[in-house]
Amino acid sequence: MTLLQCVELRVPPADLRNRFPFTIPSLASRLGDELPFDAPVTFLVGENGSGKSTFLEGIACAVRLPGIGSDDPDTDPTLVYGRLLAERMGLRWRLRHPHRGYFFRAEDFFGFTRRMDRLKEELVAEAEVIRNDLDRSAYARNLGAGAVLGQARAIEARYGASGLDAMSHGEQFLDLFSTRCRPNGIYLLDEPEAPLSPARQLTFLSMLKAMVDAGAQFIIATHSPILLALPGAAILSFDGGTIRPAVYETLEHVQIMRSFLDDPEAYLRYL
């Protein structure tokens, strides 16, 4: 079952038709059309610049999903074109707009992990300042320091006593995914394979299937042939100047990877 059933790309007014992102060929070709989401997992695939990430950002802004480690969609300066596209999107839900979910971009994730470690350090330092404030009573010092340390412990409980940097990037992402995903939510992920090794991508697929079984929906922009192989997932290709359903075996990403692994020398001899 899908929560978001359909996205309509409405035709923009004349003064916007020659402006980015409406000039991206794949998006321009589908203005005035509806794009259905019939599977609980839909992959968006295409070369860099094909429009898949911009389309995903537009949905995130239209749904008003919070970002992982980034500003609110209404204020994030990197989502200016996503907001412009969102204004021309019509969304149709199965029942009602779910209140659970988030928007993940690989570049936001790395900044988020560093910020969480810095925040924990700042909270511990703030607690020490409160403890040494002799203008307060001992009761007030202990109460104030305890409240601040409680926030630091909450971060530690979620991400570990050694901090996020003690984990590999893949471990960090899988931990974040498992703790922040909830049943019956919608999740938009842009290149989640970035921090993941091939083995971790298989682990992620298992987690993805478990969340789908719990009623969650995912729309994922990816280059990974491993992720794209998820059984039952729908694939939308943004290559060739349009947006169209695609079959796994026909994807260029899959064919090139398979050809390379079969005969690496055929490619490497030209380096």
Q: Which residue has the tokens 């020490």?
A: 128
Residue 74: which pLDDT band, with cuts at 50, 70 and 90? Answer: confident
| Stretch 246-261: mean pLDDT | 92
Residue 92 CA to residue 183 CA, distance in Å, equals 20
Among residues 19, 95, 9, the alpha carbon closest in space to that of 55 is found at 9
* Coil, helix or strand at residue 188: strand
CA 94 to chain centre: 22
Give the contacts of 200 (CB within 8 A, at least 6 positions apart): 170, 173, 174
Q: Are 113 and 120 in contact (CB under 8 A)?
A: no
**Strand pairing report for 89-93 and 4-9:** antiparallel
- pLDDT tens, residue by residue, 85-119: 999 999 999 877 777 888 888 777 655 555 556 56
Residue with the larger pLDDT of the pair 202 and 95: 202
Give the contacts of 101 (CB within 8 A, at least 6 positions apart): 63, 65, 185, 186, 187, 188
Assess whether pLDDT exceeds 50 at residue 42: yes
Residue 67 CA to residue 104 CA, distance in Å, equals 6
Residue 173: which pLDDT band, with cuts at 50, 70 and 90? Answer: confident
So where are the chain's domains?
A: 4-108+220-268
Q: What is the pLDDT of residue 139?
A: 73
Residue 122: which pLDDT band, with cuts at 50, 70 and 90? Answer: low
Structure tokens that stand for 131 in this block: 């403890």
Assess whether pLDDT exceeds 80 at residue 125: no
Lowest mean pLDDT among 67-81, 109-123, 139-153, 182-196: 109-123
The answer for 138, left when phi > 0, alpha when psi is -120 to 50, beta otherwise, is alpha
Structure tokens that stand for 139 in this block: 């009761």
Residues forming beta bridges with residue 218, ordered by sequence position: 41, 187
- The side-by-side arrangement of strands in the sheet containing 244-245 is 101-105, 186-190, 217-221, 41-45, 234-237, 244-245
φ, ψ dihedrals at 11, nearest 5°: -70, 125
Among residues 185, 161, 28, the alpha carbon closest in space to that of 104 is found at 185
Q: Which residue has the tokens 């204020």?
A: 75
- The side-by-side arrangement of strands in the sheet containing 89-93 is 34-36, 4-9, 89-93
Q: What is the pLDDT of residue 163?
A: 46
Q: What is the pLDDT of residue 142?
A: 75
